[in-house]
Structure 1
Amino acid sequence: MTVTLAGLATVVPPTVLVQDEVRDVFAAQPGLTRLAQRIVSTSFGVSGIETRHTVLEELTRSARDPGDPALFFDAESGELLLPGTKARNDLYAEHAGRLYVEAGRAALDRAVGLAADDVTHVVTVSCTGFYAPGPDFVLARDLGLRAGVQRYHLGFMGCYASMPALRLAAQLCEADPDAVVLVVSVELCTLHLRTSNDPDTIVATSLFADGAGAAIVTARPAAAGERVLELDRFATRTTPQGEGDMAWKIGDHGFEMVLSNAVPGLIGEHITGALAPLLAEEADLADALAAQTAGDAITHWAVHPGGRSILDKVEAALALSASQLAPARRILRDFGNMSSATVLFVLRDILDAPETSNGDRIAAMAFGPGLTVESALMTVRG
């Protein structure tokens, strides 16, 4: 049975953050030590990011009405404020639902021959907020899905979560050939940014952004001329080290990210072993990986751009060309790290590129707490 991913769509909120301007705001915060100021300057400067998107219009100096109370940013003083977790999560509930619906509708519009009434299952993904009835309910209600649509939510898994969501969707389709699964990831990471002297927090602040990605997974035949991705297989591996180097916890003033500077090195050290089970069933790909020439065997690499140093380590460890990581670097440059949604942006960039051809192989991968490496092998059709 062939299961495909179709209708791949991405959405971002309209407010744009310019990286250099955000750097200057964070570097000027009262209470920062000289060391923290240097880390802010370095982290933002080497991030590989030029722009990011946020649901917080308030973070731009001219967006807030003078009569409205400041919650995150006092534009007059230039000071970043410290709202509590409830205030941040309330904003998540306010903004996330709209993005879930917008992304889900865009995926349905891009999937040829499929409509809302065809959707049998919904899988939603997020690690940046919670509410109930949740986003799966909102999607079913606002998109007018059938009354009996089955709904699942994968929460608080981190940056790799869209990969197990796609794997779950593929398994549902393998169990039921008529299934049509709508997968939507929404992450509002900027709701949890804050000023700090802690190096891990500063690094996270320099990287994370807001965005949404969605797709349709189904075993139904693709329409003539429609470009889709065959979902060939998935693999998951945890590295033997690094459990404490990437974490996501709930604090009194939002969710707290631990992202140590050891993460890129750990990924570079273990990425080959993490990919081995994904490619083991195809001798040519497995041999290429063992010979450190995986870049010659797979055309495209949809790597989650957790940061520029992570991409550098993956490129070196797998002997990839600069062009093979160009999609990931473009997404990082223009959108930042949108946690679980980001790999869907990279896949869409690859799928829509004019140089992508029928039969091209794509290796997709994302990294998260554990350290966990989730990967998938896909084939372009159409």
Structure 2
Amino acid sequence: MSVISENSIIPTFTYPPLIIAAATITFLVLIYLLSTKPRPVYLIDFICYRPPSHLRVSMANFAEHLEIYSIQPRDTIDFQVKMAEKSGIGNESAFPLSLHRIPLDNSLPFSRQETETVLFTAVDQILDKHKVNPKSIDILITNCSIFCPTPSISSTVINKFGFRSNVKSFSLSGMGCGAGLVAVGLAKDLLKVSKNSLALVLSMEAVTPSGYNGNIKSMLLANALFRMGGVAVLLSNKKQDQSRAKYKLKYLFRTHMGSDDRAYQSVYQQSDDTGEVGVSLSRSLLHVAANALKLNITELGPRVLPISEMFLYLKSVVQCKFLNRERGGEIYVPDFKKAFEHFCIHAGGRAVIDAVEGRLKLSREDGEASRMTLHRFGNTSSSSVWYELAYLEAKGRVKNGDRVWQIGFGSGFKCNSAVWECVSEIDSDVRNAWSDCIDSYPVEIPDVADH
């Protein structure tokens, strides 16, 4: 039996200091994790460029212009007119001033003029609307696929508006119609490491330098589809901007098919035998786009779909693969209307919208914003998904808590998805690019067979 003498020192406070130390470390770790956790990316607002009425080009005007200035043979002119009539584009879309000239002028000065007209107007409007000083912009990202001048487009904007000398600026080129969501993705990544920052994303395609004057049909399609347009998007990770933001970015997924030769060459800028340069749209484009979309939603689906839809999908996969090998079977397409209230499908053309609607089992009403954007503004490339969101806002359809799925396709080939959650009450009376004509939409667009 051991005896503790009166002179023994009992380590009364041995354990409490360890507990205090552990608690302190835990507290510091929590503080660190909270401080390093990326803040939400908020979409404060966006402004789509609305071309003035004198730049509009009706189908009759499009055909007449080709008749007057084109040196192309008769069948080439007829093909372009036929494609334009079947495209789903109406009589209100616009060409830049350079393409209204006879003969048309696709020179560098006119390419600059178109780019500056679209972007300067959109930037001026969004900064003025929200009383944002240009020097408070921390990140500037521009994207334009065909036109890539020196100095860059971002430098041109910086020079015009007097941004700070330490603004983080980027100019993306050659990324096609999907570049708008690529630019948003880049802004999101930069906002992760830039605290209390404002990002301005500018998306457009210059029509002036992208026309094709040869006779290859796959390269003539772009002449009939692309129109003048662009957008300015203001993003923020500032906590104080939460109250004035329209949307919060939930997810952004990018799928790149560039390792596949057919996908890589499906949208391809090249010169023909006579040296004329244009962008070729291959016959396999829709098939490539469908595969890219399939891969993209494979990554997106588990994040947004309810468990019931995921169960039905997995069940169909198992049945087709193991139980019905001989008889075959159809893979269940999840009902994405249970995940999203609104869909903004890139308005690349009637066939693109039809293909996506078919792949996702969407109704024509789900694709209304895309079809009406194509009809009113044409294919505005990377900015088209923003004209579609503006359409939904002008119609008063976007409500607080609604989820919006933007789907963009681009050369390379790529499919990009952005998911936004509405975090405010959208006022449909606030003017946007649709305000002058929204009461006239939707319009009935004849089927291709009716032409």
Relative to the length of structure 2, the TM-score reads 0.72
Compare relative contact order (CA 8 Å, sep 6+) and give the higher one, 1 or 2: 1
Find the partner of 1:380 among 401, 422, 425.
422
1:49·1:333 contact (CA, 8 Å) conserved in 2? Answer: yes
The answer for the alignment partner of 1:287 in structure 2 is 310
Aligned twin of 1:244: 265
The alignment status of 1:3 with 2:41, answered yes or no, reads: yes
Structure 1 position 207, deviation (Å): 0.2
**By how many angstroms is 1:358 displaced?**
0.8
Q: Alpha-carbon deviation of 1:187? A: 1.8
Partner in structure 1 of residue 247 of structure 2: 229
Give the structure-1-normalised TM-score.
0.84
Which stretches in structure 1 are left out of the alignment for 5+ residues?
Answer: 65-69, 73-82
| Cα contact 2:137–2:198 (8 A) shared by 1 | yes
User: Of residues 13, 19, 22 in structure 1, which corresponds to 2:59?
Assistant: 19
Give distance in 1, aligned partners of 2:153 and 2:121. Answer: 12
Structure with the higher strand share, 1 or 2: 1
Could you say if the C-alpha distance between residues 354 and 237 of structure 1 is closer, same or farther in structure 2, counting changes exceeding 3 Å?
same
Q: Secondary structure at the match of 2:56?
A: strand
AA matched with 2:40: T
Matched residue SS, 1:48: coil
1:365 is paired with a residue whose SS is strand
**Paired residue secondary structure (1:23):** helix
**Residue 355, structure 1, aligned to residue 397, structure 2:** yes
Q: Which residue of 2 aligns with 1:322?
A: 364
1:100 maps onto 2:119 in alignment = yes
Shift of residue 122, structure 1, vs aligned partner: 0.6
Structure 1 residues 97, 24: CA separation in 2 closer, same or farther (over 3 Å shift)? closer
Amino acid at match of 1:280: P
1:270 Cα deviation from its structure 2 partner? 4.3
Task: Report if aligned partners of 2:266, 2:288 keep a CA contact under 8 Å in 1.
Answer: no
Distance 1:162 1:249, change over 3 A: farther
Q: Is the 8 A contact 1:9 1:106 kept in 2?
A: yes
Q: Which residue of 1 aligns with 2:296?
A: 274
CA shift, 1:233, in A, is: 1.5
Q: Is the 8 A contact 1:172 1:179 kept in 2?
A: no
Larger Rg: 2
Tell me the alpha carbon deviations over residues 218-268 of structure 1, each in whole angstroms, 9 at most, x when there is no partner.
112465864512111111113454222212347897751111233223323
Alignment partner of 2:82 out of 42, 54, 60: 42
Quick one: distance in 2 between partners of 1:309 and 1:124? 28
Is 2:200 aligned against 1:162? no
- The alpha carbon displacement at 1:155 in A equals 1.3
For residues 17-59 of structure 1, the C-alpha deviation after alignment (integer angstroms, 9 at most, x for no partner) is: 112331344367454254x455334311210001321222552
Paired AA for residue 407 in structure 2: M
Query: How do 1:110-189 residues align onto structure 2 when only pairs under 5 Å count?
Result: 110-111=129-130, 114-189=132-207
SS of equivalent to 1:95: helix
Is contact 1:88–1:254 with CA below 8 Å preserved after alignment?
A: no
- Tell me: CA distance 1:250–1:375, structure 2 relative to 1, closer, same or farther (3 Å): farther
Further displaced range: 320-329 or 272-281: 272-281
Do the aligned partners of 2:306 and 2:338 also contact (CA within 8 Å) in 1? Answer: no
**3-state DSSP class of the match of 2:94?**
strand
Larger helix percent: 2
- Residues of 2 paired with 1:212 and 1:343: CA distance? 10
Using the aligned pairs only, state the percent identity.
20
Deviation, 1:322, is 1.6
Q: CA RMSD, aligned part only?
A: 2.7
Give the direction of change, closer, same or farther, for the CA distance of 1:224–1:160 in structure 2 (3 Å limit).
Answer: closer
